Amino acid sequence: MKNLSIESSHSNADAGLMNDELFGVFGNSELLEEYRPISEFDRIVSGESVAIALRGSDRRLRDRCSVYEGADGCCVVWGELFPPDSETTNAAQWVFERFAALGTDAFSELNGAYLVVVEYEGTAVIAPDLLRSVECYYTDTPETRTFGTDPVGLSKLLDSPSIDSRALNQFIHFGVSFENRTLLHELSRTPFDTLLGERTTRPLQRFVYQPRDGPNVDHAAELAERLERVISRRARDETPAGALASAGFDSRLLLATISDIDVSYTLGTESTPEVQVARRVAKQYGIDHEVLPVTDQYLNTSKEVVRYTGGIRESLHIHHRGNLDALTVPKMYHGLLLDTILRDIYVPARTVDAFGHSLPIGGLEADPNPIDHYRTRLGFFDGGDGLLAAGDGHGQSVDALFEESIMTEIEGYDRRCNSTLNAMALLGIQLTPALPFRTQLADNHVESLIAADAELIEWHLITPPEHRNGKTFQRALEMLDDDILKHRPPDRPFTSYTLNQINGFIRREIPVISSPGTPWPDRDEIYETADMDAKLFPDSPSVHHLPPRIKLRLNDALVWLECATGDVHTPADVCCLD
């Protein structure tokens, strides 16, 4: 095996490839080499009906990859998987043996953030984790189905790839593509909670809402107990570890409970309230704290960054963007998706219109409108009909595309959800794992996606939506450490969600009262200061009037398409610029 190191992890930037890659074919190793030279990879795992090629740093292949090969088949676990028996040292062998004994029912026993490829007696399947947090893309050729974790590597196999204009419109106008699409017609994503086979896909039923409630159920206490076990499962070794931390609940959960974190990183400036509170929390738990400065590199649009969009999600919210080299520890923790799983940020709260604003009054909407709610949750671009990609919808408006995209997904959840509220929560969960933030972090560090733990997913599925909120999460945190909220988040000075919202409203509306600010950089200011129009679209003045976020999405799409196909496109090539 090649002696690769984590420090050499940027060598594939020019090709648009990720640093680590799992690539495979449904076939033998000879067929695999017809598609990709074996010399590109560090290890080949081959069975009767599937062959898998692995490429990555020594640390990735040691700590986030497990392999088993036997007389009856093989298995590869790509990512972090926890067998129920802590004595088990080879996760791939354990998965193989359970698959041999139970068939596809074995996948209900898996826990972690992973992609599993397993073959037993000639039958091979690919299984994602409960959140589809490790994306698996695939293409179909006349000979076989190819699959892998790096969509650019797969796209390079296509003879005449074509742009999926529907996915492009979704990408530009909403920030994310729907329906398991990518920006290329010939390249798809493995659907959520679904097995990928040689020519078919087969839905699993692991992610199904079955809420329970009653006077004897303490949802916060149950969450606290689960969080203790979730944290205890994460390996504690001598490897230096860091955490990407804000001043929020999820970040302080990490700092208060994970003993091997040495340093926490917060994006911002020394004067930002978010940074100041994050530093106090780090000091409270004896952890070093470093500030990641906000520079024009926050809008870095090079292939090295844009490749992590996967052709499915805008690159904007890479939390540490422009500071990757400052994250010097090899192991990283983060709280991505904990808000989505434990606090249901995609479920609408009841509000009342007052003073020209919607103010929260507690509880959840009894008859929520998914279309209206997701307009506020996604980065919806209103008034962009003149930007529609050519060939999509036969004149369909952006509004019509948005409504159809949302409702197509939600109406397909009838076997998984018992209410519109849970369907809206599931849509948020399906859309969020595509965040390039996590993909980039996992491609450069050994990282742990705590929110993908099966115990937390189960808590989400059995807890009614009215109890999946900040109040329950806060109570659970205080059960773990009664001093955990000693330094409250600057935007949540009160324990009451409603009071926090009212406080934020007053601060925004009354100039003499200082605002706690936002942890996110001002992308519009950075875009203008860095003169990004001149850098990104010097020959396309027709797009200069668009909002910066939309121009960044358009650039993401163009750069990713160049990575995937080798073809350079201009905005006029892919959009109707009225």
Q: What's the burial of 466, exposed, middle or buried (CB within 10 Å: 0-12/13-18/19+)?
A: middle
Decide: helix, strand or coil at residue 173: helix
> CA 112, 114, 117 angle in degrees (round to 5)?
130
Alpha-carbon distance of 324 to 527, in angstroms, equals 20
pLDDT of 515 over the 60 cut: no
Helix (H) or strand (E) holding 128: strand 123-128
Q: How much of the chain exceeds pLDDT 70, in percent?
A: 89
Is residue 76 situated within a structural domain?
Answer: yes
Whole-number pLDDT of residue 388: 75
Alpha-carbon distance of 472 to 230, in angstroms, equals 17
Q: How many CB atoms lie within 10 A of CB 366?
A: 8
Inter-residue contact 286 to 255 (CB < 8 Å): no
The token pair that represents 530 in the structure block: 């860095």
Q: What is the 3-state secondary structure (H, E, C) of 29-96?
A: HHHHHHHCCHHHCCEEEECCCCEEEEECCHHHHHHCEEEEEECCEEEEEEEEECCCCCCCCCHHHHHH
How sure is the predictor about 235, in pLDDT bands with cuts at 50, 70 and 90?
Answer: low
- Give pLDDT tens digits for 411-442: 999 899 999 999 999 999 998 866 898 999 99
How sure is the predictor about 10, in pLDDT bands with cuts at 50, 70 and 90?
Answer: very low
Is residue 235 situated within a structural domain?
Answer: no
pLDDT of 448 over the 90 cut: yes
CATH number at residue 111: 3.60.20.10
Q: Please name which of 24, 118, 105, 104 lies closest in space to residue 76, comparing C-alpha atoms.
A: 118
Domain finish residue from 203, 231, 255: 203
Of the two residues 364 and 462, the one the predictor is more confident about is: 462
- For 194-208, what is the mean pLDDT? 96
Domain finish residue from 170, 203, 236: 203
Q: What is the 3-state secondary structure (H, E, C) of 216-267?
A: CCCHHHHHHHHHHHHHHHCCCCCCCEEEECCCCHHHHHHHHHCCCEEEEEEE
- For 446-452, what is the mean pLDDT? 94
φ, ψ (nearest 5 deg) of residue 240: -60, 135
383 conformational bin, left if phi > 0, alpha if psi -120 to 50, beta if neither = left
Domain finish residue from 171, 203, 235: 203
Q: pTM of the full predicted structure?
A: 0.91
For 17, 182, 199, 553, the CA distances from 153, given in Å and listed in that order, are 6, 14, 20, 22
Whole-number pLDDT of residue 512: 45
- Give pLDDT tens digits for 242-254: 999 998 999 999 9
How sure is the predictor about 344, in pLDDT bands with cuts at 50, 70 and 90?
Answer: confident
Look at strands 188-189 and 145-148 and give their pairing: unpaired
Listed range (1-10, 81-90, 533-542, 547-556) with the worst mean pLDDT = 1-10
The token pair that represents 207 in the structure block: 């992610």
pLDDT of 138 over the 80 cut: yes
Q: Please name which of 169, 74, 241 lies closest in space to residue 400, comparing C-alpha atoms.
A: 169
> CA 388, 391, 393 angle in degrees (round to 5)?
70
- Give pLDDT tens digits for 306-329: 999 999 999 987 778 888 899 999
Is residue 548 situated within a structural domain?
Answer: yes
Is residue 55 situated within a structural domain?
Answer: yes
pLDDT of 286 over the 90 cut: yes
The radius of gyration computed from the CA coordinates of the chain, to the nearest angstrom, equals 23
- For the chain, the first-to-last Cα distance in angstroms comes to 54
Look at strands 201-203 and 65-70 and give their pairing: unpaired
The range of the structural domain enclosing residue 547 comes to 527-574
- Give pLDDT tens digits for 496-505: 656 655 555 5
Inter-residue contact 211 to 462 (CB < 8 Å): yes
- The HSE-up count of residue 216 (CA atoms within 13 Å, CB side) is 0
Whole-number pLDDT of residue 4: 28
Is residue 380 situated within a structural domain?
Answer: no
Q: What is the 3-state secondary structure (H, E, C) of 261-287?
A: EEEEEEECCCCCHHHHHHHHHHHHCCC
Who's near 243: CB < 8 A, 6+ residues apart? 251, 254, 255, 258, 261, 263, 264, 265, 287, 332, 333, 334
pLDDT of 380 over the 90 cut: no
For 59, 297, 376, 577, the CA distances from 330, given in Å and listed in that order, are 9, 22, 36, 45
pLDDT of 11 over the 60 cut: no
Average pLDDT of the residues of the chain: 88
Is residue 371 situated within a structural domain?
Answer: no
Inter-residue contact 544 to 533 (CB < 8 Å): yes
- The HSE-up count of residue 373 (CA atoms within 13 Å, CB side) is 23
Residue whose pair of structure tokens reads 């160049």 in the numeric block: 562
Is residue 266 situated within a structural domain?
Answer: no
Of the two residues 223 and 385, the one the predictor is more confident about is: 223
Q: How many domains does the chain have?
A: 2
How sure is the predictor about 578, in pLDDT bands with cuts at 50, 70 and 90?
Answer: low
- For 363-372, what is the mean pLDDT? 88
Inter-residue contact 266 to 278 (CB < 8 Å): yes
Strand partners, 263: 242, 288
Whole-number pLDDT of residue 31: 96
How sure is the predictor about 20, in pLDDT bands with cuts at 50, 70 and 90?
Answer: very high
Q: Please name which of 135, 132, 143, 233 lies closest in space to residue 187, comparing C-alpha atoms.
A: 135
pLDDT of 493 over the 90 cut: no
Q: How much of the chain exceeds pLDDT 90, in percent?
A: 69
How sure is the predictor about 86, in pLDDT bands with cuts at 50, 70 and 90?
Answer: confident
Q: Please name which of 61, 123, 121 lies closest in space to residue 92, comparing C-alpha atoms.
A: 61
Whole-number pLDDT of residue 505: 55
H helices of 432-514, in order, are 436-444, 454-462, 470-480, 497-509
Is residue 457 situated within a structural domain?
Answer: no
